[in-house]
Amino acid sequence: MFTLRLARPLGVLLSALLLTPTLWAKPATDPGLKSGSALVMDARSGAVLYQKNPTQARPIASLTKLMTALVVLDAKQDLNQLLTIDENDRDRVKSTHSRVRMGTKVSRRDALHLALMSSENRMASALARHYPGGRTAFVRAMNNKARQLGMFNTHFYDSTGLSTRNVATARDLAKLVTAAYRQPLIRQFTQDESEEMRFAKPAYSLMFNNTNPLVKNGDWDVRLSKTGYTNEAGRCLVMRAKPDTREITIVLLNAQGKLTPVGDANRIRKWLKGQS
């Protein structure tokens, strides 16, 4: 009798345990990102997998240079034409340092390469100056391109990203990454880990590195990326990569720590594994 009485509640308890989801096996519903705004998208389908403050317009710093590259390539100017770096390309907004000397002559292709891979501000400035109609026409073309891409909460005021008035939302930047990915040269230049650039006039050479450390990590299989930083924008990163079986687009804005974008990217990767 005692055995039967005991068996019934035990059976009920076991059934309840079997029917109840194991809390520790359930994947986290939020990756716990530190960035102020974020968006994770399936790069193939366009499905949004995660978003945080996706429609808040924020300063985007050097993420701007992806749009700079699109405008340069749309203009179909001679990529071998030599551009001259002069005093007009000196940063008088943030007083950032550049190793590129005044008077340096550089091909439009190499200027584009360094603007994308190493976020070289003087190169991005020179690209805009040597555009038909100069900087004013270049910035107008940047904003027109943004409208064409459906980036309606994005505004550009310069080609470098040094202006705090260059703003966009995470959702808009996902559209920019998709458009930039269609350009083989942008993909190539943003994937390069480093490059020794030889300048002929004057004759000197410099080694430049990619500003995104994840391009050196083969596990990430980075296919396009761009970083950005100013005090106002914080640390920013956009990236299209295939860290596992799924190709994804990541947008991270307004991260406060130097390594926070990389940390958030790894948190996203871990979170996606938990969802599969």
Summarize the annotated binding site as residue ranges: 226
Q: Which among 62, 118, 125, 159 is annotated as catalytic?
A: 62
Residue 179 CB neighbour total at 10 angstroms = 18
| CA–CA separation, 252 and 238 (whole Å) | 6
Q: Which among 65, 118, 145, 159 is annotated as catalytic?
A: 65
Q: Which among 35, 98, 118, 119 is annotated as catalytic?
A: 119
Detail the residues annotated as belonging to a binding site for substrate.
226
Asked if 145 is an active-site residue, the reply is no
Asked if 194 is an active-site residue, the reply is no
Asked if 35 is an active-site residue, the reply is no
Active site residues: 62, 65, 119
